[in-house]
Amino acid sequence: MVHVAGREAASGLRPADVRWDLRGIADLLEVAFASELDEIGQRIIRELRFWSRLGWVLKGLEWFLPPGETFAPGYVWVEGGRVVGYAMVRRFRPGVEGWLIANVAVAPEFRGRGIGRALVSACLEYARAHGARWAALQVRADNAPALRLYRSLGFVEIGRIQIWRREAWRAPLLPSLSAVIPGYRVRPARPGEVSALSAWIAAAENPAMQLFEPLGLLPMALAPWPFGRRWKTLWIIETEGGEIVAIAAWIRREGALTLRAFLTGSGTPQHARWLVETALMGIPPRLPVMALTGEEPALSAALLSLGFQPIRTLIGMRHDLKAG
């Protein structure tokens, strides 16, 4: 059992409170994640600081919200009135029996004292007390101390997500005739195929992708393409008999144009290259784009050959709360 102190305590663990913790949480996240904050992260920190001025208003609104859906759900660790540790815990999304733990952060000078363990343990207890069957989180693959902590608390890896970026390209991409594979064809998807393609992707992607990066094909397949009618958002490679071996889909993720690519076990590096090359056709060369994949070697090689660089690899982890 984790001991949780009240606000009157000068130091220790307690529930986060929107009335007085938002600015401290923002300051902590800015320091703890300084090396990886992108434009989206900076915006979130600015918003936390803005809403910190209205903490009492937010607290009043929280009376109408269920546990795990408030404005700052989670726990803080305070030392001398300063927030030096934070972890968020909230319901994953409607219809899912799990809870999400995120933004686990400890100020650099307070690391190694068990604060992170106390924060995550408190989040697990809270989720379990409110009926969660499991909890999940993401951690960078190169964050060895965090990985050790989460594994020691009972989290297990469920899959990896690799994030890529391609900066402005030197010239418009032209089709490579050598990429065409005899016995296969590449074509845009049709709206009537959305249901079948959704099922195909659900079977092809790893559990971490399904949980943290769910892909809704219907709005994508029917959405207008921003670069002209001839360019499509969803591409398929299939055999001449109609068996799908690869799919590429363009989505908007955190404001950036992002390529989602999927390859079956029968897919080859040639399929991967053909798929990515086709999807990139018509993208303005000056437009930076992102890509999101598992750790399929063939897709990684294709992306590298076409100018993408890996940004980070995230490990999805899950804890079965019913197991204690």
Shared domain for 123 and 187, answered yes or no, is no
Mean pLDDT of 144-164: 96
324 against 160, higher pLDDT: 160
Q: What is the domain count for the chain?
A: 2
Report pTM: 0.85
Between CA 174 and CA 208 the distance in angstroms is: 34
Shared domain for 51 and 180, answered yes or no, is no
**Confidence at residue 174, expressed as pLDDT on a 0 to 100 scale:** 54
Shared domain for 224 and 298, answered yes or no, is yes
Shared domain for 267 and 308, answered yes or no, is yes
Three-state SS at 238: strand
Q: Find out whether 134 and 292 touch, Cβ atoms under 8 Å.
A: no
Q: Find out whether 103 and 86 touch, Cβ atoms under 8 Å.
A: yes
Q: Among 70, 123, 72, which Cα is nearest to 100's? A: 123
Domain boundaries, position 260: 163-316
Q: Encode pLDDT of 257-298 as tens digits.
A: 899 999 988 889 999 999 999 888 878 778 889 999 988 899
Shared domain for 127 and 81, answered yes or no, is yes
Q: Two tokens at 121?
A: 């343990």
Q: Two tokens at 158?
A: 């469920």
- The enclosing domain of 106 has a CATH number of 3.40.630.30
Q: What share of the chain is helix, strand, coil (3-state, %, to 5)?
A: 35, 30, 35
Q: Find out whether 74 and 21 touch, Cβ atoms under 8 Å.
A: no
Please provide the average confidence, as pLDDT, over all residues in the chain: 85
Instruction: Give 29-63 as a 3 state SS string.
Output: HHHHCCCCCCHHHHHHHHHHHHHHHHHHHHHHHHC
Q: Two tokens at 153?
A: 């608390």
The alpha-carbon radius of gyration of the chain (Å, integer) is 22
Q: Find out whether 253 and 289 touch, Cβ atoms under 8 Å.
A: no
Mean pLDDT of 227-246: 78
Report residue 126's pLDDT band, with 50, 70 and 90 as the boundaries: very high
For residue 139, is it within any domain? no
Shared domain for 209 and 310, answered yes or no, is yes
Q: Of 113, 132, 151, which residue is a domain's last? A: 132
For residue 147, is it within any domain? no
Shared domain for 195 and 311, answered yes or no, is yes
DSSP string over 242-262: S-EEEEEEEEEETTEEEEEEE
**Confidence at residue 221, expressed as pLDDT on a 0 to 100 scale:** 47
Q: Find out whether 211 and 135 touch, Cβ atoms under 8 Å.
A: no
Shared domain for 194 and 275, answered yes or no, is yes
